[in-house]
Amino acid sequence: MPMTRLEPDTRQLPSYSSALTLIAALLGFALITLDASVVNVALPAIGAALGGGMSGLQWVVDAYTLAFAALMLSTGSFSDRIGASRAFGIGIALFTLASAVCGLAPNLPALIGARAVQGVAAAVVLPASLALVRQAYPDPARRTRAVASWGAGGSVALALGPVAGGALTIGWDWRGIFFINLPLGAVALALLVRAPRSQRRPAPLDLPGQLTAMVTLTALAFAVIEGGVTGLAALAVAVLAAGSFLWIEARQAHPVVPLGLFRDRTVSVVVAAGMSVSVAFYGVVFVFSLFFQQVQGRSALHAGLVFLPMSGLIGVTNVLSGKLAARYGARRPMLIGQALAATGLLLLLYVDAGTPSALVAVLLVPMALGCALAVPPLTAAMMDAVPAERAGLAAGVLNAARQVAGGLSVAVFGVLVADGFEAGMRLGLAIGAGLLLLTGALSFRLSGPSASRA
């Protein structure tokens, strides 16, 4: 009898094999998480070397984020169909190759294209890496600790991203942020050789839904970033593709995004809240990476170090938030997190060109802590709102929505600061705070097990 996606292989692996599999999975997850944050502080150096202006720099970030988000909807099924170990190997190999192309890119279009391929590979690696961990640890207690380690690897990579990006840009070159992936990818592949082969499992793929989702997201981002007549044409394409997506999903036997999920109020609110949190976090990291260098005239390394206090606290706060959600239910830490993040954005409205970097580092902390506090209970509430057999799919929808929001926030923030940096930055921060307060108000009205668990 074939196993469902969430069922681990029941064969107990030797401890050394389990450990090697975990290290490979953790390294793969850390690589794709690092690449989501390491690029931001290198953007001014990339712009100086390759040109392209603000819109080009936005695409360097969004080509990765949007490809990652769109394909995350179906790469879990792909991993099941060919086996997690094969999918992980393909993803890491493709990611490593694309990183080399990024580092060698002679111009901005080549870099953006290679970044999109990195995003495709990252979308394959994420579900496959987690599936490898589940496969390696059949015992629930050991698996819980292994998954926690896997998640911690992503948090550490996220925290190190801005600092690593700044250090590599100053000490080597902006191309170093991509070349560093080559030895790390090689190590992950070498470790994978020692991992047992994963079983293949039947899993349907919704290719028409996946294709229309990709066209919708890409066209929407293009419309926001490029603007003008071209932007209007892209917006029309986005609307047409979105309508096609909804029509297809309503008729598919196995849709990539089951629209019926959103009939549940908790699911709809949690997805909206997750998106507002991502708008705040990714928008702030993007715009302040540019602010420190283009407005305050700081180095890339200095910019990375300013982010270190906020990034370093994210992993600790994630763990604390999970414990709070287990004790008090998801709603309370969700509310506190969104309110704290909104407050942090409002505090950042007072930052200008003369604000000391140390003070900015302190002011960034409430926003980051609020986002970190909100995310684990958001995930818990999502899991509580759906049947167990749909947990993997629901997690994919939530994570994809958060990545989409992060990508679009970069597009919007970039457009806002293009014609006046400080005024545009403040408008973006105010919009982010408003979204958090709105979804916080919606979260306040949640009820049910996820909101009232004692």
pLDDT in tens, 207-229: 888 889 889 988 888 888 887 77
Q: Any idea what DSSP says for residue 260? A: G
Confidence of residue 2 (pLDDT cuts 50, 70, 90): very low
**Length of the chain in terms of residues written:** 454
Buried b (16+ CB within 10 A) or exposed e, 164-190: bbbbbbbeeebbbbbbbbeebbeebbe
Percent of the chain residues topping a pLDDT of 90: 35
Alpha carbon separation from 184 to 12, 35, 96, 333 (Å, rounded): 28, 12, 8, 36
Buried b (16+ CB within 10 A) or exposed e, 191-226: bbeebbebeebebeebebbbbbbbbbbbbbbbbbbb
Q: How far, in Å, CA of 365 to CA of 311, rounded? A: 8
Note whether 297 and 347 are same-domain residues: yes
Contacts of 95 (CB under 8 A, 6+ apart): 31, 32, 118, 121, 122, 125, 181, 185
Q: Which range has the top average pLDDT, 16-30, 85-99, 151-165, 204-218? A: 85-99
- Of the given ranges (118-122, 184-188, 206-210, 236-240), which has the lowest mean pLDDT? 206-210
Note whether 199 and 215 are same-domain residues: no
pLDDT of residue 1: 34
Reported pTM: 0.82
Note whether 62 and 167 are same-domain residues: yes
Confidence of residue 201 (pLDDT cuts 50, 70, 90): low
Contacts of 278 (CB under 8 A, 6+ apart): 402, 403, 405, 406, 409
Range of the domain at 200: 14-205
Residue with tokens 């089951």: 258
pLDDT of residue 196: 66
pLDDT of residue 175: 94
Number of domains in the chain: 3
Note whether 85 and 143 are same-domain residues: yes
Q: What is the chain's mean pLDDT, rounded?
A: 84
Closest by Cα among 263, 290, 267, 260 to 384 = 267
Closest by Cα among 7, 125, 104, 94 to 50 = 104
State both tokens at 213: 């989702």
The secondary structure element, H or E, covering residue 439 is helix 421-444
Note whether 134 and 282 are same-domain residues: no
3 in a structural domain: no
The model's pLDDT over 290-333, given as tens digits with 9 standing for 90+, comes to 999 999 999 888 888 998 888 878 877 877 777 777 777 778 88
403 in a structural domain: yes
Note whether 427 and 450 are same-domain residues: yes
Note whether 350 and 411 are same-domain residues: yes
Note whether 155 and 213 are same-domain residues: no
Note whether 306 and 241 are same-domain residues: no
- Of the given ranges (10-19, 274-283, 340-349), which has the lowest mean pLDDT? 10-19
Distance separating the N- and C-terminal Cα atoms of the chain: 38
pLDDT of residue 192: 85
The model's pLDDT over 344-353, given as tens digits with 9 standing for 90+, comes to 999 999 999 9
The domain that holds 335 is classified in CATH as: 1.20.1250.20
Of 173, 205, 237, the one marking the end of a domain is 205
- Helix and strand tally (H, E) in the chain? 19, 0
Mean pLDDT of 235-244: 92
Of 253, 272, 289, the one marking the end of a domain is 253
416 in a structural domain: yes
Note whether 308 and 331 are same-domain residues: yes
Estimate the crossing angle of helix 421-444 against helix 331-347, to 10 degrees. Answer: 160
Angle at 125 between CA 123 and CA 130, to 5 degrees: 115
Note whether 412 and 445 are same-domain residues: yes
The model's pLDDT over 358-378, given as tens digits with 9 standing for 90+, comes to 999 999 999 999 998 888 888
pLDDT of residue 240: 95
Q: How far, in Å, CA of 291 to CA of 268, rounded? A: 34
Angle at 169 between CA 163 and CA 175, to 5 degrees: 120
The model's pLDDT over 117-161, given as tens digits with 9 standing for 90+, comes to 999 999 899 888 877 887 777 777 677 677 767 777 777 787 778
